[in-house]
Amino acid sequence: MDQDIKEKGFKIFKNFFDKNEINQAKQIAHKKYFKNQKKDYVEWDDPELWELICNNKIINLLSKVFNGKFYYMHDSTVDIHNIGGNFTWHRDSPCRRIGIGPDWDNNFDYNVFTAIIYLEDSNETNTSLSVIPKSHKLEFKKSLNHILRFIHYRIKDIKILKLFKKLIDFFISKEIIYVAGDLVLFHCT
């Protein structure tokens, strides 16, 4: 496995998709977004989505990162999101509690990963991605960063504590400024 992903829990692949691939993904997102208003668009039935998922660049990257051994599990979404400012960190795995569930059982020889390909620049959307390095490791459960993450979650709706929340962000997370076409791969377990 790639050393950065193994150690930090994520890796950024800059300019992974080119403009044509970005436009293809945007067309799928718009089709889903606008046709879904009528409930007649089923994402899984769209051959264009499968063409995007089975893109040789993605297959080759994953083969390199995972030394040739990986499996597609079940989730793929191409979507349009309005991102608000009141976020919290989460884990993309069956059990989001650290140390609980099959993701943490050493008898199971698997890991769960999420790949996100951004279709817009951070600067255009006035957003960024915030990740907590090493939060995919079991030791994170006993760390100060985990306690601070929990406090951050509990005070997320208390406006008077906004500055304190920003301090927690600064100390425990890494802000990722992305551009259209960047791929971020997360180690979820």
Mind listing the pLDDT tens digit for each residue in 59-117? 898 888 888 777 777 667 666 665 555 556 666 665 656 666 666 666 666 677 788 88
Neighbours of 98 (CB within 10 A): 22
Poorest-pLDDT segment among 7-11, 99-103, 123-127, 177-181? 99-103
The whole model's pTM is what?
0.77
Cβ proximity of 165 and 155 under 8 Å: yes
CA distances from 135 to 48, 80, 154 (A): 34, 27, 18
SS3 call for 42: coil
- The pLDDT of residue 27 is 83
Distance CA 47, CA 25 (A): 12
Q: Which residues contact 178 (CB under 8 A, 6 or more apart)?
A: 12, 118, 121, 122, 128, 129, 184
Is pLDDT larger for residue 146 or for residue 78? 146
